[in-house]
Chains A and B, each alone.
Chain A
Amino acid sequence: MHIHFLDPYRSGSSPVHAADARLKFVLTLAFILTASLTPPGAWPVYILLFALILSVEILSGLGVGYVLKRSLLALPFVLAALPLPFTVEGRTLFSLPLGGWMLTASLEGLARFVSVALKSWLSVQAAVVLAACTPFPDLLMAMRAIRIPRLLTAMFGLTWRYLFVLADEALRLMRARAARSGAETGAAPSASLRAGGSVAWRARVAGGMAGSLFLRAFERSDRIYAAMLSRGYDGEVRALPPPTFTAAHWLTLTLGLTLLALLLGFGLLFWG
């Protein structure tokens, strides 16, 4: 049993897939920064940003549905911004009598709320496209290229490699637990939710599984260390220098950043 579905990379041959990882990485960050800096209520800018990311999604051949589905992951967090319409002062939209209180929603507050939700939604889409169109090893190269410390990128690489191996192990542990935790036959369906004793006991079982996962990870790290040593590892992290960043790459990067800067300028000028 292998956990393929954990890896969000979707192979493809689109121009988005083919683009240099450094380019995609920097442009994604710039896109998210632009969305973040765009003032609340600057609807045309949000629409243009959406048009931009939507074009990239179509170009990538990922399927807009796939990206949109994954982008809903961040949705529950919108709850955190839900009080905004009621706490920001401004023109009254509607009032709700609530016990002794009067809950008043303002237009400005609503605009802030929708803006936060839109910023978040646009940013998640960009991150989804980046992860789905760029193999993680290429992302590592991009991170090395923008001078993220080598020790950290080496850690990212190792973690990503063993994430799948250990996720397999975790899955086997969970399957073993499931195989031994049936509810009594004839019990109500809800009983299976409570099967296996108290919450504390269940948590401790999960904890024991986590403990054995950690123990195996410790032991594995010893063997990996030996394997690294035997191929010359000396405590320093080394990697090949990234391939050259060509003039064409620079041009694309400049064009992309300029476009985002224009959008941002537009937003700041009229709504800032």
Chain B
Amino acid sequence: MLYSPAPMHIPDGFLSTLVAVVLWILSAGVIAYALRRVGKDLGERQVPLMGVLAAAIFAGQMLNFTVAGGTSGHLLGAALAAILLGPWAAIIVMTTVVSIQALIFQDGGLLALGGNLFNMAVIGVAVSYFVYTSVQKIARGQKWGVFVGGFAAAWLSIVVAALACALELALSGTSPANVAVPAMGGIHMLIGVGEGLITLGALAFLYAARRDLLHIGEAAPAGGRAVWVGGLLIALLLAVLSPLASAHPDGLEWVAEQKGFLDAAQEPLYNIIPDYLFPGVSNDALATILAGILGVLIVFGVALGVAYLRRKQMTDR
């Protein structure tokens, strides 16, 4: 299989509906703003340039390399996109990549897409942009700035996006923060090295072959400062929040419950049917078994019915 899913794409079911919807709204807002901004940075060329580069990132993700014992590293691409195209176009490019991964390859869910976009297209790009431009400023245009900045941007974008992913899972009550944060963070500190090295290799190639391309993203993009500050804030926030959350695993859920939104919608229903699985059947276990048997019968009934109709339809033709 050429296309291997990365561990950072959250499938549907793992985010609570509320978290998923809030992340969708956040991502949609940023993407809508980015769509307005790209025109100013790239002009008419934006559509072909971003479209083909998104395809290139996609294809670049196929270029995996062996790390050790059968595991392989491959590209996410947020840092490379941010360095080559500037922040707004990179957000659009990564939005395209992550959306197509979900739509066509089921790599990441559709309801969870808002969260995946937020982690990879928004946070990944913002952090990359912040790190890369900061190192560039320190390096004052020297060659090492491109490479050190590129590697650091790629590594940190992966780690921070993974931490965000872990926190979202914790907020959803799917994975306790004291497990998810160290696990996701730890794995992605390694995966991030792979990302950093590939990004470095790509930058080295482009630096030698077409140095001018590395300047498209630098041409002071409209509102680039906002992204820079955003990237800084996100990096700081997650740096503080992640250890806190893992130290108090119930903290996030506690916040959620205090705010009351986890149970708000369900509260009145409790009063209608207390403690029963099936109305009229007071024994939990019995009700569950009954429900199970009924369910299995329904599944097979429907499936058989459809299969029969389908076959009839085929033979009728």
The smallest beta-carbon distance between A172 and chain B, in angstroms, is: 11
- Find out whether the CB atom of A77 lies under 8 angstroms from the CB atom of B59: no
- Find out whether the CB atom of A58 lies under 8 angstroms from the CB atom of B272: no
A residues in contact with B3, CB < 8 Å: 6
B residues in contact with A136, CB < 8 Å: 103-104
A residues in contact with B241, CB < 8 Å: none
Measured between alpha carbons, how far is A70 from B107 in the docked complex, in Å?
Answer: 11
Q: Does B288 contact A (CB under 8 A)?
A: yes
State whether A163 and B307 are in contact (beta carbons under 8 Å apart), knowing that A33-B111, A120-B14 are contacts in the complex. no
State whether A170 and B205 are in contact (beta carbons under 8 Å apart), knowing that A37-B17, A58-B307, A120-B13 are contacts in the complex. no
State whether A270 and B202 are in contact (beta carbons under 8 Å apart), knowing that A8-B104, A123-B109 are contacts in the complex. no
Q: Of the candidates A39, A112, A131, A220, which one forms a contact with B266 in the assembled complex, judged by CB atoms under 8 Å apart? A: A39
State whether A207 and B10 are in contact (beta carbons under 8 Å apart), knowing that A127-B106, A214-B60, A220-B52 are contacts in the complex. no
B residues in contact with A225, CB < 8 Å: 44-45, 48-49
Q: What is the number of residues of chain B that contact chain A, defined by CB distance less than 8 Å? A: 114
Residues 279 to 298 of chain B near chain A (Cβ within 8 Å):
279, 288, 291-292, 294-296, 298
Residues 70 to 120 of chain B near chain A (Cβ within 8 Å):
70, 73-75, 80, 84, 92-93, 95-97, 99-100, 102-107, 109-111
| Shortest beta-carbon contacts, A-B, top 10 | A207-B201, A211-B205, A158-B51, A47-B295, A120-B13, A119-B13, A203-B197, A123-B12, A217-B56, A235-B44
A58-B307, A116-B13 known; 6 new pairs, CB 8 Å cut-off, are A131-B105, A159-B55, A170-B63, A204-B204, A210-B75, A233-B44
> Which B residues lie at the A interface, using CB under 8 A?
2-3, 5, 7, 10-17, 20, 31-32, 35, 38-39, 43-56, 58-60, 62-70, 73-75, 80, 84, 92-93, 95-97, 99-100, 102-107, 109-111, 169, 173-176, 179-180, 183-184, 194, 197-206, 209-210, 213, 249, 265-266, 269-270, 272-273, 276-279, 288, 291-292, 294-296, 298-299, 301-303, 305-307, 310
